[in-house]
Structure 1
Amino acid sequence: MERPWFKHIVEGNPQEIDIPEISLTQLFNQSVEKFRNHTAITFFNKRYTYGELDSLVKRAASGLKKLGVEKGDRVALMLPNCPQYPISYFASLMCGATIVQINPMYKSSELLHVLNDSQAKVLIVLDQLLPIAESILDDTPVSITIDVSFESGCKFNQLLQDPGDDVPSTKINPKEDVAVLQYTGGTTGRSKGAMLTHYNLVANTLQSSATSQVKTRPGEERVLTISPLFHVYGMTSGMNLTFYNGGNLILVPKFEVEQVVNIIEQTKPTVFPGVPTMYIALLQYYKTKKFDLSCLNTCISGSAPLPVQVLNLFNKVSGSTVAEGYGLSEAAPVTHRNPISGLQKPGSIGIPIPNTDARIVDIGTGEHTLPIGEVGELIIKGPQIMKGYLGMPEETAQAIRNGWLYTGDLAKMDDDGFFYIVGRKKEMILASGFNVYPIEVEDVIYSHPKVLEAAVIGVPDEYRGETVKAVVVLKENETLEENELISFCRERLAAYKVPSIISFVDELPKTAVGKILKRKLQEHYSKS
């Protein structure tokens, strides 16, 4: 297979790398040995060295073992970015458990599905989210709940009082044992657990590191980590990559632009793995109050397309170069990235990272590689590709064929081997970097007693990339205000899934067999 992108790999960065068959905890332990006295985490005014972090991880692992956590158990983390996240993550992995990533914005019905589907035994949850969790825990397999508070007195702090005298020494098979269940949407809208093995995540950490080898200074980088660790992008490009390089993980629990600017001024980060909405908000704030971004050496944008004008303006203001990339949960997640120096193509997702192949195939059969410049489905092969979807063999067989992951994204490749995403086969909406699956939102709208029909689509939005729009037909003689229906949705859905625009119409366009033509709605409302 021809790989025209090879000629654009920056000198000093490898085309291929060796990936050891080790566990994520072994990778972490290597960093602890190399960088013991370096700062591992900064969380507001609190700092932890690698040695201190290692001690806390071992105490937590010993405590979890005494609570009965053992190999194969599922430990669900429902936390914002805070030190307790990496401590819980590596302590659970040390026990041989599998991490279940949970979005803290989930409502009870969403949480119920993930806990049951994953068969989670343990839930480590922020104390403020306990009421949501407690409302459904009796209907789940969860038998151990550990609350996390930034004050004293929570169960997590009690866990850290463990003397660390019983640290597990669990044997891990890196290529078979699942380290993380990363939930992502299905064609049916039901979210499914992508099984990421230790090998997948170690591979993607090392692959990601190899794309910036010429710029990274081991033990010296300060990484501004606002992208949530529960999201596969924050987990790999933020936490795992930073720890591998002995960097300082600057954890920020929530994106509030003024607070983020203060953190930038105080901590002088050198690396920023962000999403488009963050870059847009920082630029908007910069217009009103100038601040110094010259500390940034490497900026990465992932999770959603970054408007070219935003990329160019941020480069100008910061003096750095934002390298846009691409990934998906099923690939742990990174597969493509613009070179951090040398040729870059704004608007492109860049070139495949080391040990990764990519092709554009026909949409019909998915078997024929298309010529350069033609649009088809993007498929990917590499050591970062998931083991499969938990308990869903048919969906797995559809997604992975002959070792190739079928992304469902429509793309094209140019003569230089740079790839461009042009659309999605799925109807998924990407709002502020979060996946929104229309059927989930439609199910909620349909549950309103006054609604007859509904279709949910994504429409362009300057800030969020896309925003959620609902087109609704009411039952005869019923009236309903837009804000009433939005409030109804807000009570039942995570904030990023709630429609921000609702249009009431007399009828929806349909095929002869009665299927709603979302494409027509998309065309109409994207123009208007």
Structure 2
Amino acid sequence: MGNNGSKGMIHKSSYPDVSIPKKDIASFCFDAWENHLDKELGVYGTRRVTYREVKTDAVKFACALSENYGVKKGDVVAMYAPNSVEWIVAFYGILAAGGVVTTINPAYTPAEVTHQFHDSDPKIAIVSHACESKILEVKHNIPSVKHVLVICSDKEEDINSEHVKFDAVVQQSRDDFKGPKIGHMELAVLPYSSGTTGVSKGVMLTHYNLVANCVQNVAALGKEFTDPNGSLVAVLPFFHIYGMQIFLLNALFTGCKISIMPKFDPMEFLRILGEEKVTIAFVVPPIINFLAKHPAVDKFVDKFKGSLKCVLSGAAPLGKELGEAVSIRLGCTIKQGYGMTE
């Protein structure tokens, strides 16, 4: 009821209703991948992987989590690493095993890491080699973590004797694992949001939440995004809900190729736009500002001007003038999205 006693109005979307499958997110995406298993899924430096390779390794990791590390439905596993192919394998492996993924910003201080571990209570931490030292610093304060698996970019990298290399865990496992039956309303991911006050807070998202957002985005974003021959540059961090939903879920569900960047490097970003024929770029306003104003863009723009159809900005407001400047300079459509982790 409003202040004047009248009933509130019901607002409906102008988009038509979509059918949302009642499936767990791993099965939902894996089933879609069956149509293009031998297609290229990701590019990471000089490495190229197919959907089949990532699915096989994800199933093997799910098997290892369940049979070797005792992960059961609802157990939390923490991801504390920058973007990589292994991040994708671990993400889908955790979900296929019935676990819950909580994601941690690699730039967090030891105090911030400790807070999230205490709040989310993970059994296992999957960390990059660069983040391993921070885990060692706080490990005595996070008793819930029984195992630490380390993602190494170089097979020769040394790790702490109490930890295990992620690749070894995957390669020594089986690829015929049949995971538990996972209800669509069960918890899937536990990302953290700054909210409006105080420390970051865990946001509980179910498998149904993720499947629904996939279906909604595919319906709303149009042909640029639903093109199975699409190419995206995964410059946004997977630990953030924006990067997670767009690159790990929506893009892979539709069969796109993603070029994975562990962090934003301006010249590498421009190179990828051209060499990988990126069709749609999901970015944030600071990258829009770079594309609008940096002189280096002129050296690359002719290499991607024909293939880049759309740039979509999110995570913060984008001013009209800045958006128009990029549209003119790059010769593509500019869109702006809004969403909350919640």
Instruction: Write the mapping of 1:77-226 to structure 2, written as runs, cut at 5 A.
Output: 77-140=79-142, 141-153=144-156, 155-165=165-175, 167-175=177-185, 177-226=186-235
1:23–1:174 Cα contact (<8 Å) kept: yes
Instruction: Identify if the C-alpha distance between structure 1 residues 174 and 217 changes in structure 2 by more than 3 Å, giving closer, same or farther.
Output: closer
Higher helix share: 2
Instruction: Identify if the C-alpha distance between structure 1 residues 288 and 207 changes in structure 2 by more than 3 Å, giving closer, same or farther.
Output: closer
SS for the counterpart of 2:107 is coil
Give the Cα separation in 1 of the matches to 2:197 and 2:285.
Answer: 27
Give the Cα separation in 2 of the matches to 1:38 and 1:215.
Answer: 19
Give the Cα separation in 1 of the matches to 2:123 and 2:29.
Answer: 24
Stretch moving more, 264-273 or 283-292: 283-292
SS for the counterpart of 1:281 is helix
The equivalent residue for 2:70 is 68
Number of corresponding residues:
322
Please give the TM-score of this superposition, normalised by the length of structure 2: 0.90
Give the Cα separation in 2 of the matches to 1:251 and 1:2.
Answer: 42
Q: What's the CA shift for 1:217?
A: 4.7
The equivalent residue for 1:42 is 43
| Aligned residues: CA RMSD | 1.7
Instruction: Identify if the C-alpha distance between structure 1 residues 124 and 4 changes in structure 2 by more than 3 Å, giving closer, same or farther.
Output: closer
1:296–1:320 Cα contact (<8 Å) kept: yes
Instruction: Write the mapping of 1:402-481 to structure 2, written as runs, cut at 5 A.
Output: none
Structure 2 unaligned runs (5+)?
1-8, 157-163
Instruction: Identify if the C-alpha distance between structure 1 residues 192 and 265 changes in structure 2 by more than 3 Å, giving closer, same or farther.
Output: same
- Per-residue CA deviation, residues 294-340 of structure 1 (Å, 9 max, x unaligned), is 2212321100011212110111122211110100110xxxxxxxxxx
Q: What's the CA shift for 1:238?
A: 2.1
2:225–2:280 Cα contact (<8 Å) kept: no
Give the Cα separation in 2 of the matches to 1:157 and 1:288.
Answer: 37
- Per-residue CA deviation, residues 339-365 of structure 1 (Å, 9 max, x unaligned), is xxxxxxxxxxxxxxxxxxxxxxxxxxx
Structure 1 unaligned runs (5+)?
7-13, 331-528
- Structure with max Cα Rg: 1
Higher strand share: 1
Give the Cα separation in 2 of the matches to 1:2 and 1:290.
Answer: 51
1:124–1:146 Cα contact (<8 Å) kept: yes
1:239–1:249 Cα contact (<8 Å) kept: no
Q: What's the CA shift for 1:30?
A: 1.4
SS for the counterpart of 1:327 is coil
2:224–2:280 Cα contact (<8 Å) kept: no
Stretch moving more, 58-67 or 108-117: 58-67
The equivalent residue for 2:328 is 316
1:35–1:219 Cα contact (<8 Å) kept: no
1:121–1:143 Cα contact (<8 Å) kept: yes
The equivalent residue for 2:159 is none
Instruction: Identify if the C-alpha distance between structure 1 residues 36 and 276 changes in structure 2 by more than 3 Å, giving closer, same or farther.
Output: same
Please give the TM-score of this superposition, normalised by the length of structure 1: 0.59
Give the Cα separation in 1 of the matches to 2:170 and 2:317.
Answer: 41
- Per-residue CA deviation, residues 404-448 of structure 1 (Å, 9 max, x unaligned), is xxxxxxxxxxxxxxxxxxxxxxxxxxxxxxxxxxxxxxxxxxxxx
Q: Share of identical aligned residues, percent?
A: 29
Q: Which amino acid aligns with 2:84?
A: C
Q: Which amino acid aligns with 1:17?
A: V
Give the Cα separation in 2 of the matches to 1:165 and 1:36.
Answer: 15
2:224–2:279 Cα contact (<8 Å) kept: no
The equivalent residue for 2:317 is 305
